[in-house]
Amino acid sequence: MNTHSIPDPLTENKRLSFLREFIGKPMDRHFSPVAKWLNGKLIAIGDGQMEVEYVVREDMCNPMGTLHGGIAATILDDIVGTMVYAMGREFGFTSVNLNCDFLNPAVVGDVLVARSAVIRAGRNIVHVEGRLHHADGRIVAKCTSNLIQTAFKLPPVPGQ
Domains of the chain (ranges; CATH) run: 14-153 (3.10.129.10)
Which of the four pLDDT bands, split at 50, 70 and 90, describes residue 11? low
Residues 6+ apart with CB under 8 A from 50: 42, 44, 79, 82, 83, 86, 115, 116
pLDDT, tens only, 31-87: 789 999 999 999 999 999 999 999 999 999 999 999 999 999 999 999 999 999 999
Q: Give residue 157's pLDDT.
A: 85
- In terms of Cβ atoms closer than 10 Å to its own Cβ (0-12, 13-18, 19+), residue 90 is exposed
